[in-house]
Amino acid sequence: MSRGLEVRDAVVRYGTTTAVDGVSLDVAEGEVLALLGPSGCGKSSLLRAVAGLEPLADGSVAWHGRDLAAVPVHRRAFGLLFQDGQLFAHADVASNVGYGLRVAGVRRTDREARVDELLGLVGLSGYGSRAVTALSGGERQRVALARALAPRPRLLLLDEPLSALDRALRERLAAELREILTATGTTGIFVTHDHDEAFAVADRVAVMDAGTILQVAPPEELWAAPVSWRVADFLGYQAVADVDHERVAVGPTGLETTVPDVGRWVGDVVRSVRRRGRTEVTVDVDLGGGVGRYTAVPGAELTDGSDTSVGLRLRADGCAPLPAP
Amino acid sequence: MRPARARRSRPPVARVVLWGLAAGVPLAFLAIFFAWPVLALVGRGFVTDGSLDLSGVAEVFGESRTWRLLGITLGQAVAGTVASLVLGVPGAYVLYRCQFRGRTFLRGLVTVPFVLPTVVVGVAFRALLAPGGPLAFLGIDQTFTAIVLALVFFNYAVVVRTVGGLWERLDPRAEQAARALGASPARAFRTVTLPALTPAITSAASLVFLYCATAFGTVLVLGPPGYGTIETEIYVQTTQFLDLRSAAVLSVVQLVVVAGALVTADRTRARRENALGLLPEAHGGRRLSLRADAVPTAVTAAVVILLLALPVATLVTRSLHAADGTWTLDNYRNLATTGGPNALSVTVWEAAGNSLRAAALAALIAVVVGGLVALVVSRRPRARVGRRALRALDSVFMLPLGVSAVTVGFGFLITLDRPLGLDVDLRTSGLLVPIAQAVVAIPLVVRVVLPVLRAIDPRLREAAATLGAGPGRVLATVDLPVVLRPVGLAVGFAFATSLGEFGATSFLARPDTATLPVVIFRLIGKPGAENYGMALAASVVLALVTATVMLLAERLRGESAGEL
């Protein structure tokens, strides 16, 4: 008997459209898996099917080897965190966090202790009596996380929990989320369309597109060896280059400028800007599939930035080989 | 900490049965107390000796009187609707888009006429326009104009609230963008704001049209002798000429007219519910500027003072005067009597007691049945068949809005002597009046509660379910807290409507169980200054009770208030 979640050939349909098309997936106990994909790829539908909120048209979802088809949402003990928190507006912070405990019939004193513990964990100690309407977006998501964790769910499902927040907050919360999930030993599925977020939070990442899983691997491995250009594209690779008849995915820092006669290719500089303390050169160049506009890292040979025509070469640590299509 | 999960889930059969009951109880209620009586009455008009007989239709339409009545009904409804819109849209702007002191109070004040009993409004306008009244010089007492003015008095609030409710949530930046592109305020209003408001305006217009076309008490009290609409003609044909066939044909004609208005209202409502460019919450609007907003402010002030306040003020002062013009409380003292010779069988205070008892019972029935309907209709079943069924259920429960209350009342009389073959004569049990009033109030309850239930994000219920709450628990902890205040508002609405209900009650109330509106109508129909004075005083009492109930209920209205 396997421990943890087992999804086998899951199919979710809405009318005639198929949102999830035969997905199989395992999440081991204590592991956090990210479901990464563009909007509309079926990742949220898969998550809802695991939670029991959407019926499976085919396939199965099992926990510890036991099929969950007959188990309704509220008996699965799977927590769910929505993108916009979905806090109960008529209750204060503590009642929100304690909701699942109250439903489970936990004694008042135990409940209060657990609520305090959770509020401490998400960095909101002393917020218990506040109205949820008075909270900022980030605070709301922290409360929603505390609420979902309070009944100690066997599995926590996170549906783009950070997407509604601004970037700085998103990055900080992603790191905190990882710490909290690790500290509590929570098994989780984290749905996101942001590869940085997926890498920051998850032990393994499943890349999903058009209702199917393209690849599942730990972040390092995924980054080093995407199985297809489609996967590489989601991970933020900017181009496919043709190097001695081998296909290579070029990452955001995979291209470097040099003097024209040294480079493998010659391109035209469009502009050069500084972003996050680093110079980025935008070039028009043909890497084998026609002229495209790409970003390159300035090489040591070029310093004044006044050149209009530059040589370009690959940087090994910014590229990954692609299997033949 | 977590409870054992071994318990099997409740079989879906139980849930199907529960939801079936929730939908079945209201449907059974509607079938027995609405469909059956109305169909029975209509049937009497079209069935002779067990076979279909359409000669009544030809006969009714062969009379020029029918066409005249139809013309008057449509003319009255169109005039009332147009006037309500022309006056109401500026009112919506001033009361929902501008800030000034006393705005909340004024918003409550313009709502009061909507729930005032039709008979009371009739009496108030008579007091205003009849010889001796402050506006007698206009010479419009008992004319078409007087009726239209009274209809606007009622329906002004419908326009102001429906249009204002949308207007205050309209994103002002669209209009600001138009201004920045060089449009004058008038042009920006015409090209940006007005199109955005159109769904609300059409929706309000169809409702007002409906109310104007089926107005009964007002027309009966204010109309000149011989004046009639389809609604009053149904009453006349059934009670005076006992010509059920003509009455039945007219009921069907009215149903067709009203169904047209309802279909339009429903279409625009659907469009309004997914309207774009709305803010999640109402914004306060900007300060009222007497110069820039001169026209809407003047129109609104004139309406509030002349059309809304003056009739009510006249009613109150006239009720405090004796026939010779001296101040007196005699009219109120007389409320403890049965009026002049042969006027009434009960004292007015006893009638007031009857009214309160009947209205309380009616409100209870309306909230239980209407609440169940709203609950069932607010669900979003996965299957398309289920969604279609719910839409049908929603429309079916709006039907009582469109069927003449007179038809309902008379239908009760001919069917409920032995309901379902049971040996209980509901006609003598005293239950008929509250049941008929509940039938009229149910659509209002649904319209108040349903939008609030629909506005609950389904993911909120899902969040509760993933935290371990079963379906019943979700209802109790997610839906119930949100819906408590609107339900309170709905109780108030149902109670106030029932207090003032006249059309059906006038058929069903026996002399000793007469309600206040029935007693008032009887009093103004009897000669004698004493009877007239009592009618005025009783009207003031009824208006006071209704308005108080309504203003109390209004305090329960949350931000997510329903329609109406």
**Cβ neighbourhood burial of B419 (10 Å; 0-12, 13-18, 19+):** middle
Contacts of B509 (CB under 8 A, 6+ apart): B354, B433, B515, B518
Name the β-bridge partners of A275.
Answer: A278
Q: Could you say which of B9, B463, B482 has the minimum Cβ distance to residue A86? A: B463
Chain B environment of A86 (Cβ under 8 Å): 457, 459-460, 462-463
- Structure-token pair, residue A8: 């086998």
Of B374, B403, B396, B405, whose CA–CA distance to B500 is shortest? B405
The confidence score (pLDDT) of residue B563 equals 45
Cβ atoms of B1 and B371 within 8 Å: the answer is: no
Query: Which letter, b or e, does each residue of B214-231 get, where b requires 16 or more Cβ atoms within 10 Å of its Cβ?
Result: bbbbbbbbbbeeebbbbb
DSSP class of residue A249 equals E
Taking CA atoms, what residue in B is nearest to A149? Answer: B467
Point out the domain boundary residue: B319, B345, B373.
Answer: B319
Instruction: List phi, psi (to 5°) of A16.
Output: -95, -10
- Inspect the interface and report whether the beta carbons of B466 and A101 lie closer than 8 Å: no
Q: Which domain holds residue A65?
A: 5-229
Taking 50 as the threshold, does the pLDDT of residue B274 lie above it? no
Q: Are residues A154 and A37 in the same domain?
A: yes
Taking 50 as the threshold, does the pLDDT of residue B9 lie above it? no
The confidence score (pLDDT) of residue B280 equals 58
Q: What is the DSSP string of B275-327?
A: -SSB-SS----EE--TTTTHHHHHHHHHIIIIIIIHHHHHHHHHHTB-TTS-B
Q: Are residues B388 and B267 in the same domain?
A: no
Interface residue B475 vs chain A (CB under 8 A):
no
Q: Are residues B124 and B156 in the same domain?
A: yes
Q: Are residues B249 and B138 in the same domain?
A: yes
The confidence score (pLDDT) of residue B2 equals 42
Shortest alpha-carbon distance between residue B468 and chain A (Å): 4
Residue B5 lies in a domain: no
Taking CA atoms, what residue in B is nearest to A146? Answer: B467
Q: Are residues B81 and B182 in the same domain?
A: yes
Name the β-bridge partners of B525.
Answer: none
Q: What's the pLDDT tens digit per position in A71-95?
A: 988 999 999 999 888 898 888 999 9
The confidence score (pLDDT) of residue B526 equals 83
Which residues 301-320 of B are in CB contact (within 8 Å) with A?
none
Which whole-number Å values give the CA distances from B148 to A3, A105, A236, B119, B144, in the listed order? 76, 61, 69, 15, 6
Average pLDDT over residues B544-561: 74
Residue B249 lies in a domain: yes
Q: Are residues A158 and A272 in the same domain?
A: no
Q: Are residues A11 and A104 in the same domain?
A: yes
- Inspect the interface and report whether the beta carbons of B467 and A148 lie closer than 8 Å: yes
Query: Which letter, b or e, does each residue of B101-125 get, where b requires 16 or more Cβ atoms within 10 Å of its Cβ?
Result: eebeebbebbbbbbbbbbbbbbbbb
Q: Are residues A214 and A302 in the same domain?
A: no
Q: How far apart are the first and last CA of chain A?
A: 37
In this structure, the strands spanning A155-159 and A78-81 are parallel
Q: Are residues B343 and B409 in the same domain?
A: yes
Lowest mean pLDDT among A310-324, B450-464, B550-564: B550-564
Point out the domain boundary residue: A183, A207, A229.
Answer: A229
Q: Which domain holds residue B31?
A: 13-53+327-564
- Structure-token pair, residue A222: 């995924």
Report the distance separating Cα B252 and Cα B465, nearest Å: 48
The confidence score (pLDDT) of residue B186 equals 84
Position with higher pLDDT, B5 vs B123: B123
- Inspect the interface and report whether the beta carbons of B5 and A53 lie closer than 8 Å: no
Chain B environment of A79 (Cβ under 8 Å): 466-467
Report the distance separating Cα B193 and Cα B190, nearest Å: 6
- Inspect the interface and report whether the beta carbons of A105 and B481 lie closer than 8 Å: no
Q: Are residues A63 and A197 in the same domain?
A: yes
Q: What's the pLDDT tens digit per position in B50-109?
A: 777 777 778 888 888 888 988 999 999 999 999 999 999 999 999 998 888 888 888 878
Point out the domain boundary residue: A229, A254, A271.
Answer: A229
Q: Are residues A192 and A256 in the same domain?
A: no
Residue B27 lies in a domain: yes
Q: What is the DSSP string of B212-278?
A: HHT--HHHHHHSPTT---HHHHHHHHHHTS--HHHHHHHHHHHHHHHHHHHHHHHHHHHHHHT-SSB
Interface of A with B (CB under 8 A): 15, 51-53, 55, 70-80, 82, 86, 88, 90-91, 99-101, 103-106, 110, 114, 147-148, 151-153, 157
Q: Are residues A215 and A174 in the same domain?
A: yes
Q: What's the pLDDT tens digit per position in A10-31?
A: 999 988 899 999 999 999 999 9
Residue B7 lies in a domain: no
Chain B environment of A72 (Cβ under 8 Å): 9-10, 465, 470
Question: Among B15, B452, B459, B466, which would you mutate to test the A interface (most chain A Cβ atoms within 10 Å of its Cβ)?
Answer: B466
Q: What's the pLDDT tens digit per position in B175-216?
A: 888 888 878 888 888 888 888 888 788 888 888 988 898 888
Report the distance separating Cα A243 and Cα B111, nearest Å: 77
Q: Are residues B277 and B335 in the same domain?
A: no
Question: Among B467, B480, B483, B560, which would you mutate to test the A interface (most chain A Cβ atoms within 10 Å of its Cβ)?
Answer: B467
The percent of residues in chain A predicted with pLDDT above 70, rounded, is 97
Element (H, E) at A230: helix A229-235
Q: How many domains is chain B partitioned into structurally?
A: 2
pLDDT band of residue B427 (cuts 50, 70, 90) is: low
Shortest alpha-carbon distance between residue B310 and chain A (Å): 42
Taking CA atoms, what residue in B is nearest to A50? Answer: B466
Q: Are residues A163 and A282 in the same domain?
A: no
Taking CA atoms, what residue in B is nearest to A107? Answer: B1
Position with higher pLDDT, B15 vs B197: B197
Report the distance separating Cα A17 and Cα B399, nearest Å: 36
Residue B443 lies in a domain: yes
Q: Are residues A23 and A53 in the same domain?
A: yes
DSSP class of residue B170 equals B
Average pLDDT over residues A252-266: 86
Average pLDDT over residues B212-234: 87
Position with higher pLDDT, B248 vs B27: B27
Q: Are residues B475 and B533 in the same domain?
A: yes
Contacts of B310 (CB under 8 A, 6+ apart): B128, B134, B135
Which whole-number Å values give the CA distances from A112 to A100, A102, A107, B153, in the listed order? 12, 10, 9, 56
Taking CA atoms, what residue in A is nearest to B471? Answer: A74
Average pLDDT over residues A131-144: 90
Query: Which letter, b or e, does each residue of A30-46 get, where b requires 16 or more Cβ atoms within 10 Å of its Cβ?
Result: ebbbbbbbeeebbbbbb
Chain A environment of B465 (Cβ under 8 Å): 52-53, 72-74
- Inspect the interface and report whether the beta carbons of B473 and A78 lie closer than 8 Å: no
Of A52, A38, A72, whose CA–CA distance to A10 is shortest? A52
CATH of the domain at A95: 3.40.50.300
Shortest alpha-carbon distance between residue A106 and chain B (Å): 7
Taking 60 as the threshold, does the pLDDT of residue B559 lie above it? no
Contacts of B111 (CB under 8 A, 6+ apart): B157, B161, B550, B554
The confidence score (pLDDT) of residue B361 equals 95
Question: Among A73, A133, A145, which would you mutate to test the B interface (most chain B Cβ atoms within 10 Å of its Cβ)?
Answer: A73
Report the distance separating Cα A173 and Cα B171, nearest Å: 32
The confidence score (pLDDT) of residue B356 equals 94
pLDDT band of residue B10 (cuts 50, 70, 90) is: very low
Q: Are residues A74 and A133 in the same domain?
A: yes
pLDDT band of residue B269 (cuts 50, 70, 90) is: low
- Inspect the interface and report whether the beta carbons of A148 and B7 lie closer than 8 Å: no
Q: Are residues B426 and B518 in the same domain?
A: yes
Chain B environment of A155 (Cβ under 8 Å): none
Report the distance separating Cα B233 and Cα B238, nearest Å: 8
pLDDT band of residue B276 (cuts 50, 70, 90) is: very low
pLDDT band of residue B482 (cuts 50, 70, 90) is: confident
pLDDT band of residue B5 (cuts 50, 70, 90) is: very low
Residue A234 lies in a domain: no
Taking 70 as the threshold, does the pLDDT of residue B130 lie above it? yes
Report the distance separating Cα B130 and Cα B138, nearest Å: 10
Q: Are residues A280 and A259 in the same domain?
A: yes
Residue A189 lies in a domain: yes
Complex ipTM > 0.90:
no
Report the distance separating Cα B127 and Cα B136, nearest Å: 9
Instruction: List phi, psi (to 5°) of A134.
Output: -90, 5
Q: Are residues B342 and B491 in the same domain?
A: yes
Shortest alpha-carbon distance between residue B476 and chain A (Å): 11
Point out the domain boundary residue: B296, B319, B342.
Answer: B319
Average pLDDT over residues B371-384: 85
Q: What is the mean pLDDT of chain B?
A: 83
Cβ atoms of B404 and B369 within 8 Å: the answer is: no
The percent of residues in chain B predicted with pLDDT above 70, rounded, is 90
Residue B121 lies in a domain: yes
Q: Are residues B146 and B209 in the same domain?
A: yes
- Inspect the interface and report whether the beta carbons of B466 and A55 lie closer than 8 Å: no
Taking CA atoms, what residue in B is nearest to A105? Answer: B3
Point out the domain boundary residue: B256, B289, B319.
Answer: B319
Q: What's the pLDDT tens digit per position in A172-211?
A: 889 999 999 999 999 999 999 999 999 999 999 999 999 9
The confidence score (pLDDT) of residue B564 equals 47
Instruction: List phi, psi (to 5°) of B430.
Output: 80, 0
Shortest alpha-carbon distance between residue B385 and chain A (Å): 12
Name the β-bridge partners of A314.
Answer: A255
Q: Could you say which of B467, B473, B474 has the minimum Cβ distance to residue A151? A: B467
Instruction: List phi, psi (to 5°) of A277.
Output: 75, 10
Q: Are residues B160 and B254 in the same domain?
A: yes
pLDDT band of residue B138 (cuts 50, 70, 90) is: confident
The confidence score (pLDDT) of residue B243 equals 82
In this structure, the strands spanning A32-36 and A188-192 are parallel
Average pLDDT over residues B214-240: 86
Chain B environment of A106 (Cβ under 8 Å): 1
CATH of the domain at B249: 1.10.3720.10
Maximum CA extent, chain B: 84
Residue B2 lies in a domain: no
Q: Are residues B153 and B32 in the same domain?
A: no
Residue B393 lies in a domain: yes
Which residues 368-387 of B are in CB contact (within 8 Å) with A?
382, 384
Task: Report chain B's C-alpha Rg in angstroms.
Answer: 25
The confidence score (pLDDT) of residue B8 equals 39
DSSP 3-state of B85: helix
> Which residue reads 């990442």 in tokens?
A205
Q: Are residues A118 and A76 in the same domain?
A: yes
Contacts of A206 (CB under 8 A, 6+ apart): A25, A33, A34, A35, A36, A213, A215, A216
Residue A69 lies in a domain: yes
